[in-house]
Structure 1
Amino acid sequence: MLIRFWLWLGRVLVKSSLVLLVVGLGGWLLGEAYYGWKFSGPAPTEEVVPADEAAQTRAIIDDAIRIVEQHRDNTRVLRDAHAKAHGCVKAEVTVLPDIDSGLRAGVFAEPGKTWNAVMRLSNGNGFPQFDSAPDARGMAIKLLDVPGEKLMKSPTHANEQDFVMFNHPVFFVRDVAEYRQNFNAQANGEKVRAFFPGWDPRSWEVRHLIIALKTLAPAPDSPIDATYSSIAPYKLGLANIKYRVIPDPQSCPPYQLPEQNTALPNFLRNALYQQLSLDRVPACFAFQVQQQNAEHYMPIEDTSVEWDEAISPFVTVARIKVPAQDFDSREQNLACDNLSFNPWHGLAEHRPIGGINRLRKAVYEAVSAYRHERNGASDATRP
């Protein structure tokens, strides 16, 4: 009797597994076919602004203020995202001498030009946590002493050009409306509702949940080992582009980072300090851009869609060198904390485009002003 039961149970489990496999494979194939159809070209080359975007933006700012208050460190108000820095370091950004003529615009207009810059490397979470925790990682670059009229009229940032990135090619929301729904759920402590706002399966964002889970990746060995992407599109002169920064170790002296103790809460800062401050070895990156090909589905208003590199490959326009330096003093870390990065701090030739970038303009400015007012600190430009 017992043997017959186990044989029966085994047959049931095998059949159930086969059914689940077939259903799962069928669902995957249907999903591939659906998104292959949905994400077929062409794509608009101009921005399309929804009528309710301003109201959605105001609501997001309110939620962002709530989050920075929830995550404050005693009386000190932190950023609503990328609160924990691994360090702010000095860098040099040099335009390629042979940069393609069609990409010579803004800060890349002069071949061979070198800009002094500040680079902030960070974790993505709005609350400081151990570096070993799965998280996004961020890179922000601020070029200094950049002449010309800027998109934002703040005298504090009148001579700056900012580039803001994190280490995944796409974002887990498509537009401002979805960002509002997702962000509000997180602010209310309802993480499940961020991607499953109701019982109606048509409102579920399973694909975006998968993107979010991929974004929460294990930490790299060092913050300089990751690739950082703009996610949202920008102008480069007349072209629509996305940009990214990739490690470029062949442009620097060979270096092998000693094994780090990843159980330490700040091992990514330690790795950066080990290379730049103790071993005195510079780090190198390449700054690359990818142009929109509007004949294919490379949307401006949907940041959850990756532009296909097979159709439009990235092209290097500049080299970045982070020289050996000391960066981990109390004064420098405080100045780093007071730095404000905003993709709208810059020239019209690099104007951010798309809904998420329009949202950034308002939210970054509002949260930065609130944070500095609450902390009694001025908006710094250099560490």
Structure 2
Amino acid sequence: MYGTDWTENVAPDEAARFELIAKKLAALQANRNEKYGERGRALHRQAIAGVQARFVVRPDLADVLPIALHVGPFQPGAAYDAFVRFSNGGWDRPRKDTPDVRAVAIKLLGVTGPKCLGSADTQDFLLNHTRARTPRTPEEFAALIEAAAPGGTLGTIWRLIQAVGVGRALAMVKGTLDGFKVPFSSFASGTFWSMSPFQLGPSAAMFSLAGVENAESRPGGLTADLASRLKEGAAFSFRVQLYENATATPIEDPTVVWETPFIEVARLEIPPTELTAPESVETANYIENLSFDPWHAVEALRPLGAFNRARKVAYYAGSVQHREVIPDDEVRPR
């Protein structure tokens, strides 16, 4: 079963607060753009790979997901072309295998229906390899980024203490370090999480993506491992966890891990891809000019919670500084 009594708590001063966060992230983005001589993303600047894929919804969807929740792309047997970007989560361009947040961004094409942002027939899903957030609010997240961006462990801790106080600073540092300890041996066999909830028709859900192949990592590090696996193709299970109630599955508390069952609703299928082939390089470059945004969504999959509401403001501000962004309504399969 699923709950439908979810609510959002929108503070009256959110708009001004989130504009301030967006300005801070935009300033970091401008700083790194100048450093690297490029127009890159504020976060997730370092791409690992960009490929084409197919998103195939299971034909027996009604057997596992109530029909009332068959919304947006989640229609039995539906299939969509997609672009997939694997990345590191940081604002710099270190060696690709340097410890970092690992992430996957997916853009589905041909998803019709009223949209949360714009009118393009696309649907984006953004997922990280950490399951829950350590910062409790968008302001704490921005403070963590601001504290860490100049570098230096002791300096980061001191700046964070100045911003949020000793107790929260130490908790956030511990949570962040614990996140880096989460086993992650391969992009192709890893598990990724939306970390924030989304509307799912009358209910709400968390999304996750899990590699179907659960094999040991291959030699050469994460980047070489992914390149090797993609030569053979890769498949991922796309899953939802349904909202139950405000205590077990809160909308506004990103630190709580939802424990409701996983329901596989689709497969993400990447065909055999040689990343160094000219056509693959062209596709990867094309994907680098795309904007991935959780608000590129049908209204029935509207992003929920304060973090998602803050992202709506920050992602738009970031797209202005990011390359020559291809408008979503002009995105086409390669």
TM-score bracket for the superposition, by shorter chain length: 0.7 to 0.9
What does residue 107 of structure 1 align with?
A: 73
Secondary structure (helix, strand or coil) at the match of 1:133 reads coil
Q: How does 1:203-282 map to 2 (within 5 A)?
A: 203-217=167-181, 220-249=184-213, 259-262=218-221, 268-277=222-231, 281-282=232-233
Secondary structure (helix, strand or coil) at the match of 1:210 reads helix
Which of 229, 234, 237 lines up with 1:286 in the alignment?
237
Give the distance between the partners of 1:270 and 1:355, measured in 2 at CA.
37
Secondary structure (helix, strand or coil) at the match of 1:321 reads strand
Any gaps of 5 or more consecutive residues in structure 1?
1-41, 251-255, 263-267
Which of 114, 132, 145 lines up with 2:110 in the alignment?
145
* Contact 1:133 1:218 survives alignment (8 Å): no
Asked whether 1:132 is paired with 2:94, we answer no
Which of 32, 51, 54 lines up with 1:71 in the alignment?
32
- Indicate the structure (1 or 2) with the bigger Cα radius of gyration: 1
What does residue 172 of structure 1 align with?
A: 134
Secondary structure (helix, strand or coil) at the match of 1:204 reads helix
Give the distance between the partners of 1:350 and 1:65, measured in 2 at CA.
27
Give the distance between the partners of 2:199 and 2:230, measured in 1 at CA.
33
Which gives a bigger RCO, structure 1 or 2 (Cα 8 Å, sep 6+)?
Answer: 2
> Alpha carbon RMSD of aligned pairs, Å?
2.6
Give the distance between the partners of 1:171 and 1:293, measured in 2 at CA.
20
Give the distance between the partners of 2:163 and 2:23, measured in 1 at CA.
23
Secondary structure (helix, strand or coil) at the match of 2:22 reads helix
Q: 1:348 Cα deviation (Å)? A: 0.6
Asked whether 1:326 is paired with 2:277, we answer no
Q: How does 1:1-383 map to 2 (within 5 A)?
A: 45-72=6-33, 74-99=36-61, 100-102=65-67, 103-108=69-74, 110-153=75-118, 158-186=120-148, 191-193=156-158, 195-197=160-162, 201=166, 203-217=167-181, 220-249=184-213, 259-262=218-221, 268-277=222-231, 281-294=232-245, 296-307=247-258, 309=259, 312-328=260-276, 329=278, 330-372=281-323, 376=324, 378-379=326-327, 381=331
The aligned amino acid for 1:53 is E
The aligned amino acid for 1:181 is A
* Contact 1:44 1:299 survives alignment (8 Å): no
Identity of aligned residues (%): 29
Residue 261 to residue 295, structure 1, CA distance change in 2 (3 Å):
closer
Higher mean alpha-carbon deviation, 344-353 vs 178-187, is at 178-187
* Contact 1:57 1:359 survives alignment (8 Å): yes
* Contact 2:132 2:254 survives alignment (8 Å): yes
TM-score between both structures, scaled by the size of structure 2? 0.86
Any gaps of 5 or more consecutive residues in structure 2?
none
* Contact 1:198 1:204 survives alignment (8 Å): no
The number of aligned residues is 318
**More helix per residue: 1 or 2?**
1
